[in-house]
Structure 1
């Protein structure tokens, strides 16, 4: 998980690059499958909208607020919808949430921003690794 307090992206990228350079042997496809395609203890894809079991309570304001005929302020949307214990009215297709904690536990709760927030810090290392895999035709 890429959270605000723990940054493992650099280490993970080094491991991926070492694997590509054949300094380490690993099935890199398994890592992608486990994170995004549901091969994890919850059987969940951490990419929103992918397959049927994906995060439904994403920490994302645009996903939280129902379509209304009147403008909704940020504070108004927070006060009215954030704490509802229901699935989001809007699906943020393709967003990648923070994912499981170090014990492979994931709590699908919009107040759990460390795990449920889709952020560029979550997906940027994955994009870099996948681009490198594509470049090396692995």
Structure 2
């Protein structure tokens, strides 16, 4: 039912819009990647255009693209407010799309430059590695959070540790003040962590292929 709906209403809903951001309040890219799977893996020919839309997103986020910024240490940077949400969600998207491309035995053509599924996996792994500590500060951004506002300004150690949480992350220059009051960089959130689970699961399962 939903597939038929999108076939009829996709263009009206903005499928052809230029969009290179996938975050907590914009899921267009995720929908395009899912629909491209229907074309690539399940051979639904009427969804051919979604492969092009998905490719456009991929070309906009790979290193060297004029549409994306990367810090000196190699972190994808979209904005200062919880940037890690874009890092984790983009990593997940790259890995998912690499899987579909591999099954279909096709690649992405970015203005004459061929981008293989292997390269997409490598780009995603670099982002995850940065997040976990392979960065100029040698700091993992999967760290702790405070127990609440009552202790936010305290000089004492954090009373509770949120094991496995990923915070907003560093700025465009790989700087991270590590201050409780700086929610833009220090606050963990579900929309940062949720897509990372998918990326980590893929990397753990496919480690031998990387």
The structure, 1 or 2, with the larger RCO (C-alpha pairs under 8 Å, 6+ apart) is 1
Residue 130, structure 1, aligned to residue 209, structure 2: no
- Structure 1 residue runs of 5 or longer lacking an equivalent are 49-54, 65-77
* Cα gap change, 1:84 to 1:35, in 2 (>3 Å): same
- TM-score normalised to structure 2 length: 0.42
Structure number, greater radius of gyration:
2
Q: Distance in 2 between matches of 1:7 and 1:119?
A: 8
Q: Distance in 2 between matches of 1:118 and 1:14?
A: 20
Q: Deviations over 1:60-83 (max 9, x none)?
A: 3x2x5xxxxxxxxxxxxx3x4221
Three-state SS of the structure 2 residue aligned to 1:34 is helix
TM-aligned CA deviation for residue 133 of structure 1: 4.2
Q: Deviations over 1:112-131 (max 9, x none)?
A: 11111121111111112233
TM-aligned CA deviation for residue 40 of structure 1: 0.6
- TM-score normalised to structure 1 length: 0.60
Higher share in strand: 2
What residue number does 2:55 align with?
none
Q: Distance in 1 between matches of 2:84 and 2:137?
A: 22
What residue number does 2:166 align with?
96
RMSD of aligned alpha carbons: 3.2
Residue 31, structure 1, aligned to residue 127, structure 2: yes
- Structure 2 residue runs of 5 or longer lacking an equivalent are 1-76, 103-115
Higher share in helix: 2
Aligned length: 112
